[in-house]
Amino acid sequence: MSGSVNRPAFAPASVADDLSARGFGRATRRILFDKWIGRLLPLLFIVVVFPILDMIWWIAQNALPTMTWSTLTTPLYGDVGGLYGAILGTTYLAGLALAICGVLGIFGGMYTAEYASPRTATFARLFGNILAGTPAIVIGYTGYFLLVLYTGWGTSIAAGAITLSVFMLPWVFRTTDLAFLSVPPTLREASLGLGATHRQYLFRVGFPVAFPRILTGIFIALAIGVGETAPLIFTAGWQLAPATSLTQGTSYLTGLIWTYFDEPANLGHLLALSFQAAFILFVIVIGLNVVVQIIGARYRRRLKGLFA
């Protein structure tokens, strides 16, 4: 091994240098353990998703065979008829509630993100989140006393919608807040640096950029409003005939299930209606959530474009 050319050699290797995963030893055990964790953990998805799929299957099974177009267009009368009144009632309740909590929530969220002092903002977020975690039945009780009894309105769409809006508000509030927070600071500084007033920034730049995300908040709130039962049980009343005024009580999809789910078997039609209502609810809510996810994904892509 002499001469003008040096022979290259790799640094002497010890057994510990054996890079292959075969053989014995701790490293092998660790790597194998990791591999098996990686294989077994995804099985948890089956544990969680299987019951849900089972639920969807059974609800569809019980709802679809007897569902026709007239189910959606005829009101319920006694134990015959369809879901028209309930669909109408849900539309009124959720629509009105969304109008209320939309206005309050968007202004509140915008203020929190853009104007409030850090201290105020922290507290506003905390209270928003606490309200989101308040049991719906407690809100329902409050609505019953405050709006049904003390105002003298009686059970009515108005009382139900306002109560419902309290439950929906935190979601609009929170997403609006997050939406304005996620506007790239560079964009904000750029427009303010160009001499725009804060108001001009907010409406010309901030709001358009944040809008898709605010929309997701609205849709989430809508999904919650459509699917919630507890705030309405004692406030929205129950009237089978399609509602014609906000002072009347109404039937609504969740209330229909709530009312008829344990009907004796001889009223099978009502049980079928309950399942149909559940199916419709399910479709609406999942549909809204899918829309939310799509908007969210597109929004993120757009933001990425803004940054690049």
Scan residues 37-76 and list those touching another protein (CB under 8 A). 37-38, 41-42, 44-45, 47-49, 51-52, 54-55, 58-59, 62
71: left (phi over 0), alpha (psi -120 to 50) or beta: alpha
Min CB(283)–another protein separation in Å: 11
Q: Which residue has the tokens 């920034």?
A: 201
- List b or e across 200-232, with b for residues whose CB sees 16 or more CB atoms inside 10 angstroms: ebbeebbbebbebbbbbbbbbbbbbbbbbbbbb
**Contact assessment for residue 266 and residue 172, using Cβ atoms and an 8 Å cutoff:** no
Bridge partners of 73, per DSSP, are none
**Size of residue set near another protein by CB under 8 A:** 135
Pairing of strands 80-81, 76-77: antiparallel
Residues 151-170, one symbol each (x = binds another protein by CB under 8 A, - = not), give ---------------x--xx
Among 184, 300, 302, 306, binds another protein (CB under 8 A): 300
| Span from 67-75, 78-86, 240-248, 293-301 in contact with another protein (CB under 8 A) | 293-301
Closest Cα partner for 172 from 231, 223, 220, 124? 220
User: Which residue lies nearer to another protein by CB, 232 or 244?
Assistant: 232
User: Which residue lies nearer to another protein by CB, 142 or 239?
Assistant: 142
CA 254 to chain centre: 17
User: Which residue lies nearer to another protein by CB, 41 or 78?
Assistant: 41
Among 64, 80, 99, 138, binds another protein (CB under 8 A): 138
Among 102, 128, 160, 237, binds another protein (CB under 8 A): 128
Residue 181, interface with another protein (CB under 8 A)?
A: yes
Q: How far is it, in rounded angstroms, from Cα 130 to Cα 134?
A: 6
Residue 194, interface with another protein (CB under 8 A)?
A: no
CA distances from 149 to 135, 143, 146, 156, 203 (A): 21, 9, 6, 11, 41
* Binding residues among 246-265 for another protein as defined by CB under 8 A: 254, 257-258, 261-262
Q: How many CB atoms lie within 10 A of CB 199?
A: 9
User: Which residue lies nearer to another protein by CB, 81 or 227?
Assistant: 227
Residue 301, interface with another protein (CB under 8 A)?
A: no
Q: How many CB atoms lie within 10 A of CB 183?
A: 22
User: Which residue lies nearer to another protein by CB, 157 or 277?
Assistant: 277
* Binding residues among 76-105 for another protein as defined by CB under 8 A: 104-105
